[in-house]
Structure 1
Amino acid sequence: MTLLLRNGTIHSVGDPFATAVLIDRGTIAWIGQESTADTLAAETVVDLDGLLLTPAFADAWAPAGEGAVPPGVVAAQVAAPATLAAPGLEVTEIAAVHVREAGALGAALERASAGPVAGGPPRLHLPGSLTLTDGDVEAIVRAHAVVVTAAADGGFALPLARLVAEGVLVAFGSGGRDWHDPWSTITAAVSTGPAPLTARAAFNAHSRQVWRLGPPAAIPRGTIAVGSPASVAGWAVEALAVQTPDERVASWSTDPRAGTPLLPALGPGEVRPVHAFTLAGGEVVAWDESILPRPA
């Protein structure tokens, strides 16, 4: 089956000005603009009517039990025997060390290095409310550890931007017993804490970076790119932007001419994106017909 999604905003690093995507048998086959989309033949064509199309979310620290999976999530990693199951959800069991207070970080790094994932980077689960010293950050960097964290209700205390700048792979998950809405976590990462992230870095932490926690893969995941699985989500948004905490130190240019992929404007007072549909490997997981008519 071929599916053409067109007349939207496509969040793609490879083609940041794209408005259309062609999906062939569950894989992204083409990304581009309307002039070329006009020439393509597809069994099903969907007019996105201006929706934002993003890579679907992945959760790096998911609850192991039952519960409603947030809209747009197609993959979950759990650190316990999984009873988790939902349509279209890919579940992976992982080994990780939980750190509940900064004073336990050194011992946690030792346990993680000697544990079931020995030979790979230590994986730390840190609560978003944890405060790290300069020495803590340096220890994480020296150990080449990866950090998985979830935002607390009050936002982040972790120096997220510093960790990322030091080369630490930071990924987001729900943490605890309940699912967290990814957009809430991303918004908190952009607008709270001693070192907030850019919106793009925060979004990547809930998508592409989660996939990077696993073994190296020949096919990129968590991105809209030709050859990648067609796991995507559509969102109705009021405003799109290239958002950074401080434009003077932005990791990506905020000039529209630079072609940085757009994301919803996030932060206090901004309207949260509204979920329209989710595809996992090209298959419909969820579709809200009040926002966009579902194809026959």
Structure 2
Amino acid sequence: MTATLATGGRILTPSSRDATALAHDGGLVVWAGADAPAPALFPDAEHVDLAGDWVAPAFVECLSDGLDIGAAAARGVVPAGLPAPHATGTVADRVRAGERVVVDAGADPAGVAAALTDLATELGGPAVARCTPTLVGAPDLDDAGLAALAAVGAVILLRPLVDDLAGTDLVRLAGSGAALAASVRAGDEVRPWDALRALTTVDRGRGLSPRAAFTATTRGARRAAGARDGAASTLAVGAPATYVRWETGELVVAAADDAVQRWSTDPRSGVPPMPDLAGPDPVLRDLVVDGHPGNADR
């Protein structure tokens, strides 16, 4: 397979806050950086001119049962399978069998946290963490309950376009240590940019920063689906080359709560800029999945 080198864009990658070029080969990201050295580093690569577009990991939908894959791709969303939720009473049996633990909204989160804690004591924390315990919906837990979930590697999967998040302190959830994921689905539709807006503007509550919300709908959702390498849904070297090219306006840096996170809007903080969620949705220009053109019929 011939390497692909894309230049002249704005790349969201942990390799560099100011990256303008990205190279991938064999379905994996192999480099990200500035335009200038790129041609010399990849002289035989197929070249793509990004024309100033923003390149970022694709959105991930882990509640993908019945999802229209083509329609999702047209909105920059790729599926990642998550097992159907099960009854709270089967948590122990599933952990002992090494199976995924997915508990639906409406379950008693305190009971789930207690059960997982007891299992970690009995079987060891790694045995529980390998099951990637996932709670669907924002759990109503105190700090001790959230800490118990974090201790066993649990994932909190939010549904911002389905559940009423009014009054929810998402900043507290994100700071608990438990991994935070989010669905971008509303019934049969996927609306990723609306999901980001819902996560960042919580009525009578505290919303996430745009960057944290984006992470929840990409890397977090991939984690909920069982990815454990830490690189999935990033454009880090060695990660799958699954990304979207967006035509968008000026990128901005915005904090979740200006009163307490003003530092994060300072360029010196290194927080990468994002599309302005107050503006129109970015326009999808291209979807690449594992280095290949995705099904992005629009």
Q: Which TM-score tier does this pair reach, normalised by the shorter chain?
A: 0.7 to 0.9
Q: Separation in 2 of the partners of 1:191 and 1:181?
A: 16
What is the CA distance between 1:215 and its match in structure 2?
A: 5.2
Residue type matched to 2:288 in 1?
L
Alignment identity in percent? 29
Aligned to 1:11: 12
Q: Separation in 1 of the partners of 2:83 and 2:162?
A: 22
Contact 1:242 1:263 in 2 (8 A): yes
- Deviations, residues 65-99 of structure 1 (Å, cap 9, x unaligned): 24232522223233339xxxxxxxxxxx9541112
What is the CA distance between 1:58 and its match in structure 2?
A: 1.5
Contact 2:114 2:148 in 1 (8 A): no
Aligned to 1:170: 180
Residue type matched to 1:77 in 2?
G
Q: Separation in 2 of the partners of 1:178 and 1:112?
A: 32
Q: Separation in 2 of the partners of 1:203 and 1:210?
A: 10
Contact 1:171 1:205 in 2 (8 A): yes
Matched, 1:279 2:291: no
Q: Any residues of structure 2 matched to 1:89-168 within 5 Å, and which?
A: 94-100=100-106, 104-109=108-113, 119-120=128-129, 122-126=133-137, 132=140, 135-144=141-150, 145-152=154-161, 156-157=165-166, 158-168=168-178
Matched, 1:56 2:36: no
Which of residues 209, 216, 228 in structure 2 aligns to 1:216? Answer: 228
Q: TM-score, normalised by structure 2?
A: 0.78
Aligned to 1:69: 72
Which of residues 189, 200, 203 in structure 1 aligns to 2:199? Answer: 189
Question: CA separation of 1:199/1:252 partners in 2, compared to 1, >3 Å: closer, same or farther?
Answer: farther
Question: CA separation of 1:125/1:154 partners in 2, compared to 1, >3 Å: closer, same or farther?
Answer: closer
- Deviations, residues 228-275 of structure 1 (Å, cap 9, x unaligned): 1111111111221111132342287212244322210113xx111111
Q: TM-score, normalised by structure 1?
A: 0.78
Aligned residues: 266
- Deviations, residues 92-131 of structure 1 (Å, cap 9, x unaligned): x954111237xx33334456677xx9722532101x6x7x
Matched, 1:262 2:263: no
Structure 2 residue runs of 5 or longer lacking an equivalent are 86-98, 120-125
Question: CA separation of 1:72/1:31 partners in 2, compared to 1, >3 Å: closer, same or farther?
Answer: same
Question: CA separation of 1:142/1:111 partners in 2, compared to 1, >3 Å: closer, same or farther?
Answer: closer
Contact 1:64 1:79 in 2 (8 A): no
What is the CA distance between 1:212 and its match in structure 2?
A: 3.1
What is the CA distance between 1:277 and its match in structure 2?
A: 1.0
What is the CA distance between 1:42 and its match in structure 2?
A: 3.5
Question: CA separation of 1:38/1:24 partners in 2, compared to 1, >3 Å: closer, same or farther?
Answer: same
Contact 2:7 2:20 in 1 (8 A): yes
Question: CA separation of 1:172/1:14 partners in 2, compared to 1, >3 Å: closer, same or farther?
Answer: same
Residue type matched to 2:249 in 1?
E
Structure 1 residue runs of 5 or longer lacking an equivalent are 82-92, 290-296
Q: Separation in 2 of the partners of 1:288 and 1:4?
A: 23
